[in-house]
Amino acid sequence: MTRPIIGVIGNAYRVENRFAVQMVGEANLRAIAEVANALPLMFAGVPDITDIDALLNVVDGIVLTGARANVHPARFGLEPDVRHEPYDNARDAVALALCEACVARAVPIFGICRGLQEMNVAFGGSLHPEIREIPGRINHRMPRLDSGEIHPDPAVVFADRHEVHLTPNGAFATLLGRKTIAVNSLHGQGIDTPGARVVIEGVAEDGTIEAIRIKDAAGFALGVQWHAEHDPQLNPINRALFQAFGEAVLTHKQGR
């Protein structure tokens, strides 16, 4: 049997500040190929060249990856602010529609970082543009040097930064067999108000929502705020998530 196909959303990027491209981090592709045991297939996060219905007729699951750009605040009733740029309106249009379509068609969907945020907005929730500005919250952004530059060592950048307390007997606690996990943290934006169908499954020590599922979804529909694509070949938490996603995708493929 051929391996299932998992669609991976692309992000807007410019080469030499001139050439528009769509980009996906290789860690996402390797996590899908090596841990979920599926074929990764990048698709454009551009609505006028991505037909969602045709896409879901081809792929067996969807990964909404993390990204540099924030979800545009107009999507949840706030005004944009230059401090929170860049935005990627084209990806917003594709991803939000995809969230609803995947859940409606029971196509497995896994949201990572921005992907979790998109899932929340797609079901009516809102985001806070800068979690660290909320009183009592920690800085969830990636580590930086005193100079302000991003830390050059990936081991430091993707190191576990804080704990996440999982909902007892919830989907994540059951899947991972734990009450508490340690995760990396590389985000500024985060969930403010959960969407109507968004069930909170994991919360950081400071109250930041870190894991969600979509209520009454017939297929796999989970999102995490941390970067689960980082080292799932060795990290037991991230490996378990991608393996479970891969199993759900295979089941969906077999039932088509």
Residue spans of alpha helices (H) in 123-224:
154-157, 171-176
Question: Do residues 225 and 21 make contact, with C-beta atoms less than 8 angstroms apart?
Answer: no
Mean pLDDT for the chain? 92
Query: Is residue 229 annotated as part of the catalytic site, yes or no?
Result: yes
Query: Is residue 227 annotated as part of the catalytic site, yes or no?
Result: yes
pLDDT of residue 156: 64
For residue 116, give the 3-state DSSP assignment: helix
pLDDT of residue 198: 98
Q: Which contiguous run of DSSP H or E holds residue 21? A: strand 19-23
Radius of gyration of the chain measured on its C-alpha atoms: 17
pTM over 0.95: no
pLDDT tens column, 141-153: 777 766 767 777 6
d(CA 20, CA 5): 26
The crossing angle, in degrees rounded to 10, of helices 114-122 and 89-105 is: 70
For residue 161, give the 3-state DSSP assignment: coil
Q: What is the sign of the dihedral through the CA atoms of 139, 140, 143 and 147? A: negative
Residue 190: burial class (beta carbons within 10 Å; 0-12, 13-18, 19+): buried
Query: Is residue 99 annotated as part of the catalytic site, yes or no?
Result: no
Say which of 102, 113, 130, 230 is annotated catalytic: 113
pLDDT of residue 144: 72
d(CA 174, CA 254): 24
pLDDT of residue 72: 92
Which domains are seen in the chain, by residue range? 5-255 (3.40.50.880)
Residues of the chain with pLDDT below 50 are none
Say which of 84, 140, 187, 227 is annotated catalytic: 227
Closest among 9, 221, 222, 219 to 209, alpha carbons compared = 222
pLDDT of residue 154: 78
Closest among 34, 8, 25, 20 to 154, alpha carbons compared = 25
Closest among 85, 88, 108 to 45, alpha carbons compared = 88
